[in-house]
Structure 1
Amino acid sequence: MSEKLTQHDIRRYNWFIWKIVIGGFFIGVIIIALTAFGVFGPLPSFRDLENPKSNQASDVLSSDKQILGKYFVQNRSNVTYNQISPNVIHALIATEDNRFYAHSGIDFGRSFTILFYNLIGKQQGGSTITQQLALNLFSERSHNKFTRLRQKLQEWVIAVRLERNYTKEEILTMYLNTVDFGAYNTFGISSAAATYFNTTPADLTADQAALLIGMVNGPGLYSPIRHPDNAISRRNFVLRRMTEEGYLSEGQSQEAKMKPLGLDFHPIDHKDGLATYFRSVLKKEVQKVLVDQDLRKSDGTPYDLDRDGLKIYTTLNYTMQQYAEEAQKEYMKQLQVQFNQHWRGRSLWKAIPDFKLLLDQGLKRSDRYRALKAQNKSDEEIREDFNTPASMNLFTWHGNIDTLMKPIDSIVYCKMLLRNAMMSMDPKTGYIKAWVGGINFEHFKYDQVKTGTRQVGSTAKPFTYAVAIDNGFSPCMQINNVPDTIYGYGKPWCPGSAPSETVPGYITLRKAMARSQNWVTAHVMKEVKPEPVAQLIKKMGITSDVPAYPTICLGTFNASVYDMTGAYSVFANEGLWTEPTYLLRIEDKNGNLLYDHKARVVQAMNPETAYVMTYMLKGVVDEGTGWRLRSKYGLKNPIGGKTGTTQNNSDGWFIGVTPQLVTGVWTGCEDRAIHFRSTNLGEGANSALPVFALYMKKVYADKNLGIRTNIDFAMPPRGINITLDCGAYNQQQQGTAEVENKLGF
């Protein structure tokens, strides 16, 4: 039988216990103090707390303030407290931290009740919202127990500092802007609302808010895409917690629980959305601006386009971009069928010189080849791999398809796909309204609007005629359409002219350009000389090499759709070349202006010449190679333009000119050696003009765009001295001849 404890023993034991408790308390205080002083690792400074580091997506905005796309490491866009539905706030507090407004960052009382809450079914996490924010902003959760303990102490310190420096509303907003919502790198409530419900945070209903907040503690486990049953169960739990905390009535909660998930899933990816080629080019341009202008944040570090939430304002019109992409898809789907039928049953190896060389080039440019090379595979092993059937994902105009085929055959397939690019701009301001750089950015990332150049063919002819007009030639001047050889520039040169396309006899300059006559164009070049033509082409914004040789009158030089469209805008803008502009300004995430673009303007030709050239270009549509715009597509308003077809039909062009829009379209295969074998199919009038026509029909039909059909090109304020009435011109010429005869000339 043990001895009875005396009162002295009890006091001694109590004091011992109190010493342990007090000692433990002081040790805890010392550990927290050491944590606060950074002994266990650096903590964010006050400036860091004022400017928390969270990767925020940069937005690319259209001229009508719609988001064309984003650049991001994490798909995150910040919103303010007032832009968040109360349903989201209530769901978050009810589920994650129901005493949020009562504590100062750490809820010690809550820590002792976690077990009790879990026992009665009210599941509660161990960290307050402020502590979770600290973890989201400044560290990554460690799976090592000791490291996690150190992180927990740091979170406490950071949480207290956050509470001292921010209001409760600001903390909730920062938390909701940083939390991970799973699919496609979606961070923040704004991106989550757009991705899962195609809406804004302000418009989230109670059931939608409950679904998203339910994902916070397990975006994978509670994903409505991968685990819809789990997502519904978790959503209903959040709705129950909202009811228990008084944010919803029982009836509202039951009604919300009965709803289906109701997803409107719009995952945001770099390869998705509108203007993918444009955004790729724009990204390089913005990065160059940030470096060239040495733009830096307040802490002295350079801006990061993928992380710093910049706002990039562009000239593209969201609706017109949609119409441009729709027009391309609608016609190129038909043209590819024509192309496939045209080549059906013919051997590419026999019909196309050096086709094997083209395949070898395609093979060595492929991602698959580079990956195999990186694995130190020999050429024999690589060729064996390319001749072994494998799972392939291919682009078609009816959607991507998964199939089993030899990789080398997939290269042949891609080589035989027609490519297309177009750009549309306002000739007065230089603002680019639509930019379609290719047929599918996911599969073919090379931009063909600005990055790529192709031979321009007959779209170069107006440059030669413009020099002639500037030198006093009249559109009514008649020239015999016969061969005319040019000497003095190396080998004597005279172009060919297909008999079926040649207009015999004397024809006017306007008709010669309208019907794209090579011999008359060469005669005009012989008169005006190549040097002034080359100089004019450069003044009109062509940045590629244009040698001063007679052949440039037929477009033997290369140029981009971007440059050619900009050049044609001179005709519609009274002779002024206004730099084609797509980047307007860059702002930081707080709306502060970082960069403002100023476009260059050059007087490329006099207004009278420009106006006469619009009259010449209208002839192409009214009586020349662009006649389909009138007869087939029903466009009756004032339109000028020029078709272009290069040698062997390798490239098809059409550049359309109206008073408010100038639009350039190019079509061809990746390799110039692969093309339509007949001009009837390969000419620009068939391969490029229809894309322009379909685009303009959509634009004109949308009255909200303000692109009108009832306006014509403006006459220069001082009028013109060149006679456009060919009847009057002929009388003038006859009168002049009679006077010369009388004077003995």
Structure 2
Amino acid sequence: MLNVSQRSMPQKKSRKKLILKWLVGLCLAGVLGIISFILSVQWGFWEPLPSPQQLADIRQSEATEIYADGGELMGKYFIFDRQPVAYEELPQHLINALIATEDARFYEHNGVDNRSLMRVVFKSILMGDESAGGGSTISQQLIKNLYPRKNHGVFSMPVAKTREAILAKRMEDIYTKEEIITLYLNTVPFGDNTFGAESAAEKFFSKQAHELSLEESAVIVGMLKASNSYNPRLYPDRSKTRRNVVLAQMEKYGYLSHEETDIAQGRPLKLSYTPFNHDTGIAPYFRSSLQQKLEEWLEEYNQENNTELDLFTSGLKVETTINLEMQQMAEEAMGAHMKALQKDFEASYGARAPWLRSNEILQDALKKTPYYKKLQKKGLSSAQIQDSLNTKRQMELWDWDGTKVVKASTVDSVQHYLKFLNAGMLSVEPGSGAIRAWVGGINFKHFQYDHVMQAKRQVGSTFKPIVYAAALENGVGPCDYFSARPVTYANYDDWTPTNSGNIDSEKDYAVKAALANSINTVAVKVLEEAEIPNIIDLAHRMGIESVIPPVPSIALGSAELSVEELSKAYTAFLNNGRPSEPYFIKRIIDKSGKVLAEFEPEKAAEPVFSESTRQLMVEMMKEVVENGTATRLRWKYGLKNDIAGKTGTTQNNKDGWFVALTPRLVTVSWVGSDDHRIGFRTTAMGQGANSALPMYAIYQQKMNQQSDLYRYTAARFPPASTSVQNRLDCDEEKQPGFLQRIFVNEDKPQISKLKLDSAILADSKKIEPEKKEGLFKKIGNIFKRKKKNNE
């Protein structure tokens, strides 16, 4: 008879077999499940996989690069800041740092590192050890960068990892290891919306990738673990620690000796951060205008050539006329002058400043804010809106000392920014029209209105040279004398122009002296001799396209023009009487190196005035600097350059202007408030000689210190002809004649009725500028004609 233990033995064996069968079955089911899952990913059940052909033809969006005249990178247009480089342009220590840190067996596997994968499975997943790492190879990370992961619920990570492993192996069959490294370092994100090693090198170290040092390469590779957490701009200490980890990894895998690692780890972290965005960086106003022109050009080019080029993704290269060194100096000069002028401007008003009172100016500014419009759209009452506008909260406010976070209301913010004076400055080569420097305002982030191309302001006495040139062409001589006495123009609402400064109204002044000293009463009398239609016609032939009103006040600059328009007009005085069209784009090149377009402006066929008039005007404007309203260029700023020029101040000191002519450069500067109702408190502060001239003077001082700008700073005006010199040989002023002193009442203004052809007054279109194609359109047409000729 069997005992219990003997009877239970077959049962135990049977149970073991059953368990074993279940385990084998589970394993087989698991294996089949895994295989099925892998096949489901491979067959695109979860999402389509890129085909081998698509992998072989990887196209990534590339930023359009903007280059200065000397070839320096000065900005980009991008969605993702990415610029590709070839493998040969990548420094070896950058490649070594990448492999040592991210994929030590990169040259040994075929896209998936099985040892790393098993380590991750057992240590990370089963044992919960987060130090085991991610296990993804460079090839897998590249796939992740190229084809971002999608959400599949709880299956998201398994699907993503499987998909990346499959595609990584496919990629290794298509590309060499060097090509994979190149693709990876051209696409990987590095923080601050920067993609690729080249863009990262430019942004964080202001150099190209091939120029990176060992430590800089380690910083860049260190960001791969967490681009924000190890961003050297945001967290320099954390970035340095991570850099040293990368260097230690390089030593561990034999890329550095212990001594090299010690030296590199001991060096400080040094950045040279150069952001490429619309609000900051060099020449933001210029880049904004350039963007608009390029978008217009691309729209036309794509239509004509059946292409799909995009400014932000097609990797174009745009060569401009901007001189980077001059641009930097112009911006520095503007900042230095405007910071000091702003302080004086605010002090002059004190507590009675127009922006501090709840008046029409403030209310108008508040109504223009997006916040006010949003509240109004919600249907809030005026009282509710005002209450919200007065609610204080944390906000950033900018001034010339920097950006501060303060507790302020919308009203506080509007009042704060209303007080700022703004500025514009443009430098143009008169012979070619090439724009070398463009300052559109004081701070693009907070004041995006461009004061070079967009803004039109009354130009004051800077219009007088056009009046005087027309008068010379109409027979007036530089030594003709005019009384400085005020005249009332009865048929123009009894308008009576007056003079500022120490002008003796009892004297007669030569035309040349009247211009040098900006005598208003004489300027209007010269206008009478030149005749208004002739002046307006000359202004338009000099390149001014804005409508100029047929009124005598244009002699004092009542016409509203842009800085760019005035610059163009003045080029005629230095370019043999021919105005040069200002332009700023030289070439547009696609990412393959093909030149899509070359630009050069049309040249004026005929001079707009005679050579003798041109020489006389230059000599007379030189006197403005030597003995007239711009003498502070000499005695205050010590400038010894050959300079001619003209100051300008508008009514109630709203605008200050200065135009500087040197033999190879025309520079126009303007200063004023964006709100036309806010002017300088005094003429002494607001006159162009004080408000606008110093900006140019500082700029010229900076240029004089640079030997490579010698062609601009050392240039000399050619001597005037003997006949021109003879015509200028006279006294600047004289006492009126005996009969005039007896019969003219000096205390009473003279009454005059300025003659103007009634037909011209009736039909103002006769003195409006001829409608012309814009500069960009004209340049585009030039390119078209060149293309046809080549065909």
Q: TM-score range by the shorter chain?
A: 0.7 to 0.9
Cα distance, 1:375 vs structure 2: 5.5
Q: What CA deviation, in whole Å up to 9, does each residue of 1:158-198 have, x standing for no partner? A: 4344334433222212211211222x222222232344444
**In structure 2, how many angstroms separate the alpha carbons of the residues matched to 1:226 and 1:652?**
41
Superposition pairs for residues 197-596 of structure 1, below 5 Å?
197-224=205-232, 231-294=239-302, 302-346=308-352, 348=354, 356-373=359-376, 377-484=380-487, 494-498=496-500, 500-502=502-504, 504-596=506-598
**Retained in 2: the 8 A contact 1:533–1:548?**
no
**In structure 1, how many angstroms separate the alpha carbons of the residues matched to 2:546 and 2:231?**
51
**In structure 2, how many angstroms separate the alpha carbons of the residues matched to 1:578 and 1:303?**
31
Cα distance, 1:123 vs structure 2: 4.3
Q: What CA deviation, in whole Å up to 9, does each residue of 1:273-304 have, x standing for no partner? A: 2212211222112112111322799xx66333
Q: Which 5+ residue runs of structure 2 have no aligned equivalent?
A: 1-8, 733-791
Cα distance, 1:268 vs structure 2: 4.4
**Retained in 1: the 8 A contact 2:355–2:419?**
no
Cα distance, 1:623 vs structure 2: 1.7
Does 1:133 find its partner at 2:142?
yes
SS at match of 1:657: strand
The match for 1:735 is none
AA in 2 matched with 1:380: A
RMSD: 3.4
**CA 679–501 in structure 1, closer or farther in 2 if over 3 Å, else same:** farther
**In structure 2, how many angstroms separate the alpha carbons of the residues matched to 1:677 and 1:22?**
86
Cα distance, 1:259 vs structure 2: 4.0
Cα distance, 1:10 vs structure 2: 14
**In structure 1, how many angstroms separate the alpha carbons of the residues matched to 2:24 and 2:353?**
99
**In structure 2, how many angstroms separate the alpha carbons of the residues matched to 1:237 and 1:123?**
15
Once structures 1 and 2 are overlaid, which stretch shifts more, 658-667 or 464-473?
Answer: 464-473
**In structure 2, how many angstroms separate the alpha carbons of the residues matched to 1:143 and 1:254?**
46
**In structure 1, how many angstroms separate the alpha carbons of the residues matched to 2:545 and 2:51?**
50
Once structures 1 and 2 are overlaid, which stretch shifts more, 334-343 or 391-400?
Answer: 391-400
Does 1:616 find its partner at 2:620?
yes
The match for 2:675 is 671
Once structures 1 and 2 are overlaid, which stretch shifts more, 661-670 or 521-530?
Answer: 521-530
Does 1:58 find its partner at 2:60?
no
**CA 229–66 in structure 1, closer or farther in 2 if over 3 Å, else same:** closer
Cα distance, 1:21 vs structure 2: 9.0
**Retained in 2: the 8 A contact 1:53–1:138?**
no
**CA 595–159 in structure 1, closer or farther in 2 if over 3 Å, else same:** farther
**Retained in 2: the 8 A contact 1:117–1:124?**
no
Does 1:653 find its partner at 2:657?
yes
Superposition pairs for residues 88-99 of structure 1, below 5 Å?
88-99=94-105
**CA 502–441 in structure 1, closer or farther in 2 if over 3 Å, else same:** farther
Residue of structure 1 aligned with 2:89, choices 80, 83, 86: 83
Cα distance, 1:628 vs structure 2: 1.0
**CA 605–384 in structure 1, closer or farther in 2 if over 3 Å, else same:** same
AA in 2 matched with 1:700: N
Cα distance, 1:145 vs structure 2: 3.6
**CA 170–371 in structure 1, closer or farther in 2 if over 3 Å, else same:** farther
Question: How much identity, in percent, do the aligned residues show?
Answer: 37
Cα distance, 1:483 vs structure 2: 3.9
The match for 1:174 is 183
Once structures 1 and 2 are overlaid, which stretch shifts more, 719-728 or 302-311?
Answer: 719-728
**CA 144–265 in structure 1, closer or farther in 2 if over 3 Å, else same:** farther
**Retained in 2: the 8 A contact 1:486–1:526?**
no
Cα distance, 1:506 vs structure 2: 2.2
**Retained in 2: the 8 A contact 1:529–1:550?**
no
Cα distance, 1:462 vs structure 2: 0.7
**In structure 2, how many angstroms separate the alpha carbons of the residues matched to 1:116 and 1:186?**
35
**Retained in 2: the 8 A contact 1:215–1:231?**
yes
Q: Which 5+ residue runs of structure 1 have no aligned equivalent?
A: 731-745
Cα distance, 1:666 vs structure 2: 0.6
Once structures 1 and 2 are overlaid, which stretch shifts more, 196-205 or 422-431?
Answer: 196-205
AA in 1 matched with 2:528: K
Q: What CA deviation, in whole Å up to 9, does each residue of 1:432-485 have, x standing for no partner? A: 111111111122111111111111111111111111222333222222333456
The match for 1:163 is 172
**In structure 2, how many angstroms separate the alpha carbons of the residues matched to 1:10 and 1:216?**
48
TM-score (norm 1): 0.87
Residue of structure 1 aligned with 2:715, choices 693, 696, 711: 711
**In structure 1, how many angstroms separate the alpha carbons of the residues matched to 2:493 and 2:70?**
54
Q: What CA deviation, in whole Å up to 9, does each residue of 1:15-69 have, x standing for no partner? A: 989976996687467436523xxx5434446675455343433222211222222
**Retained in 1: the 8 A contact 2:486–2:505?**
no
Q: What CA deviation, in whole Å up to 9, does each residue of 1:476-499 have, x standing for no partner? A: 222233345668x76565533347
**CA 638–117 in structure 1, closer or farther in 2 if over 3 Å, else same:** same
TM-score (norm 2): 0.82
Superposition pairs for residues 117-132 of structure 1, below 5 Å?
123-132=132-141
The match for 1:737 is none
**Retained in 2: the 8 A contact 1:313–1:583?**
yes
AA in 1 matched with 2:717: F
Cα distance, 1:531 vs structure 2: 1.3
**CA 626–231 in structure 1, closer or farther in 2 if over 3 Å, else same:** closer
**In structure 1, how many angstroms separate the alpha carbons of the residues matched to 2:634 and 2:381?**
58
Residue of structure 2 aligned with 1:634, choices 633, 638, 646: 638
Cα distance, 1:422 vs structure 2: 0.9
SS at match of 2:155: helix
**CA 728–403 in structure 1, closer or farther in 2 if over 3 Å, else same:** closer
Cα distance, 1:388 vs structure 2: 3.1
SS at match of 2:671: strand
**CA 445–143 in structure 1, closer or farther in 2 if over 3 Å, else same:** farther
Cα distance, 1:114 vs structure 2: 4.1
Superposition pairs for residues 684-695 of structure 1, below 5 Å?
684-695=688-699
**Retained in 2: the 8 A contact 1:572–1:713?**
no
Cα distance, 1:685 vs structure 2: 0.8
**In structure 1, how many angstroms separate the alpha carbons of the residues matched to 2:715 and 2:704?**
12
Cα distance, 1:424 vs structure 2: 1.1
**Retained in 2: the 8 A contact 1:474–1:722?**
no
Cα distance, 1:418 vs structure 2: 1.6
SS at match of 2:402: coil
**In structure 2, how many angstroms separate the alpha carbons of the residues matched to 1:11 and 1:414?**
81
**CA 22–115 in structure 1, closer or farther in 2 if over 3 Å, else same:** closer
Cα distance, 1:502 vs structure 2: 4.6
**In structure 2, how many angstroms separate the alpha carbons of the residues matched to 1:724 and 1:103?**
89
**CA 291–408 in structure 1, closer or farther in 2 if over 3 Å, else same:** same
AA in 1 matched with 2:337: Y
Once structures 1 and 2 are overlaid, which stretch shifts more, 655-664 or 69-78?
Answer: 69-78
**In structure 1, how many angstroms separate the alpha carbons of the residues matched to 2:342 and 2:260?**
55
**CA 440–563 in structure 1, closer or farther in 2 if over 3 Å, else same:** same
**Retained in 1: the 8 A contact 2:474–2:529?**
no
